[in-house]
Amino acid sequence: MTPARGSESGSPALINGGDTATATAARTVQNYVGGRWVASDATRFGEVRNPANDELLARVPLGTAADVDRAVKAALEAFPAWRQTPPVHRVKPLFKLKNLLEEHLDDVARVVTREHGKTLDESRSSVRRAIDNVDLAFGIHDRMMGTSLEDIAAGIDCHTVRQPIGVFAAITPFNFPAMVPMWFLPHAVACGNTFVVKPSERVPLSQVRIFELMHEAGFPAGVVNLVNGAKEAVDGILDHPGIAGVSFVGSSPVARYIYRRAAEHGKRVQALGGAKNFVVVMPDADLDRAAAISTESCFGCAGERCLANSVVLAVGEAHGKIKDKLVSEAKKLKVGDGMEPGVTMGPLITKQHKEKVLGYIEQGIREGAKLLLDGRGYQDPQHPEGYYLGPTIFDEVKPEMVIGREEIFGPVLCVMKARDFDEAVQIVRQHELGNATSIFTSSGKWAREYRYRVEPSMLGVNIGVAAPMAYFPFGGAKGSFFGDLKGHGRDSIDFFTDKKVVISRWF
């Protein structure tokens, strides 16, 4: 194992170096393995840039199967002692982590904003959600209890115990760099497993900061590990015989691949995929509120949110009435560097992603959708190099259009019209993805009917972002989810433990 090296930042998590002119200025991200910061074996590196101004923040190693193997070995070594540590003691480092995250909430949020671009308020809320998961894990001694029944036959009793399984790994997306790994790690380690996180190579710095705090919190060496990289590191995880289960969050094509390949190796898998979320607006809804909430839902985090309601499906006369309201709400957004006060929408994650979203806007125009608001021309006067787009709204989008079907993952709102409630339900049901959806109505009957008939499994009633709290399950349906046990909530205990059934007779 390469020993940790110091750096100008004072943190061994980032070291100086690089062999090209640009790379020299940027620090290289390290892995955290067996309780120490170590260099990756990688010979290829990616760049981490601040999307607000294109500044090069760091180089990230595109890690190898050997990097993964080192982390898994450390996790396997730590497992027997960690498993034997009583649950009430296992949560002690989590208590410390919670306090450290509270104390450094603003600092972690700043790292999120710098590498991702979302506003500081959005980053703070995401760190708060990470802390909620740490909080929930404190109750593990209660949540992990088994069940028992006397006399399943004369003189024979039966009980179940929940046992940790071994090493688990999380492979996570770019859009919530601090929060998403925490949907899994606290629950897995509280259950007595050990863990490897592979964050998105586009935003590795938030996890680096959180792992510095985990180091301070005093987890025994090898219980939590961090490996940076992209596809090669992911494949190293999927194929590694030492890993018992994988939690994935990202786009649907990759989720499907992860599910298939990890399952082939006999692993447990929960793979949360992409989204195209519809918000049905009934004519009886409070349209001012529906417009304001839907706009926030769609354009928050610059539309890079798996719970973004990116299609407003207006029913009957709601369509004519809500269009202008959506446009005037969207015009209130202040685009800019998420670090600056008053900014309500930051840039997109990369230059390439901005180009992709621009491509969708051009596609929408070609397909005959009507552009009500055009964000293509937006340029930030202070940071012309930033990856900004203004809010864009299309009307007269049809379900069969590319912009009506595919996940755009940018600040583009599509407005569709449905004749009546039944047609709206049909449009939602026809879509291959089913992550989240919302309905705006003043009728309990419509709300119930909607809940009953559509498939997306995170559903908001007069709510724009139907984000389950840590103690409820998180995950979609259809092409948005591969597996059966969802993220956090009670499902996490089922995912991270095995149930052993003991049948006893004493003579």
> Which residues of this protein are in contact with ligand NAD, per CB under 6 A?
171-176, 198, 200-201, 230-231, 234, 249-251, 254, 257, 272-275, 306, 407, 409, 435, 476, 480
> Shortest Cβ distance from residue 123 to ligand NAD (Å)?
15
> Shortest Cβ distance from residue 354 to ligand NAD (Å)?
13
- 370 and 394 Cβ atoms separated by less than 8 Å: yes
Query: Has 414 been annotated as catalytic?
Result: no
Amino acid residing at 418: A
Can you name the residues that pair with 55 across neighbouring β-strands?
50
Query: Which is nearer to ligand NAD, 172 or 294 (by Cβ)?
Result: 172
In the DSSP assignment, the letter for residue 331 is H
> Shortest Cβ distance from residue 356 to ligand NAD (Å)?
10
- 300 and 308 Cβ atoms separated by less than 8 Å: yes
Query: Which is nearer to ligand NAD, 186 or 303 (by Cβ)?
Result: 303
For Cα atoms 177, 491, 145, give the angle at the middle one, nearest 5 degrees. 120
In the DSSP assignment, the letter for residue 3 is P
> Shortest Cβ distance from residue 446 to ligand NAD (Å)?
26
Cα separation of the two ends of the chain: 54
Query: Which is nearer to ligand NAD, 50 or 252 (by Cβ)?
Result: 252
Instruction: Give the whole-angstrom CA distance, residue 476 versus residue 139.
Output: 26
What does the buried/exposed string (b/e) look like for 392-411 if buried means 16 or more CB atoms within 10 Å of the residue's CB? bbbbbbebebebbbebbbbb
> Shortest Cβ distance from residue 132 to ligand NAD (Å)?
15
Query: Which is nearer to ligand NAD, 222 or 236 (by Cβ)?
Result: 236
Q: In which residue are the tokens 């998180």 written?
A: 474
Can you name the residues that pair with 416 across neighbouring β-strands?
313
- 412 and 361 Cβ atoms separated by less than 8 Å: yes
Instruction: Give the whole-angstrom CA distance, residue 138 versus residue 357.
Output: 41
Query: Which is nearer to ligand NAD, 144 or 182 (by Cβ)?
Result: 182
Query: Which is nearer to ligand NAD, 390 or 476 (by Cβ)?
Result: 476
Which of 275, 223, 267 is closest to 485 using CA atoms?
267
Which candidate in 191, 298, 301, 306 is catalytic?
306
> Shortest Cβ distance from residue 237 to ligand NAD (Å)?
9
Q: In which residue are the tokens 């010979």 written?
A: 43
What does the buried/exposed string (b/e) look like for 448-481 if buried means 16 or more CB atoms within 10 Å of the residue's CB? ebbeeebbbbbbbeebbbbbbebeeebbbbbbbb
Catalytic annotation, residues = 306
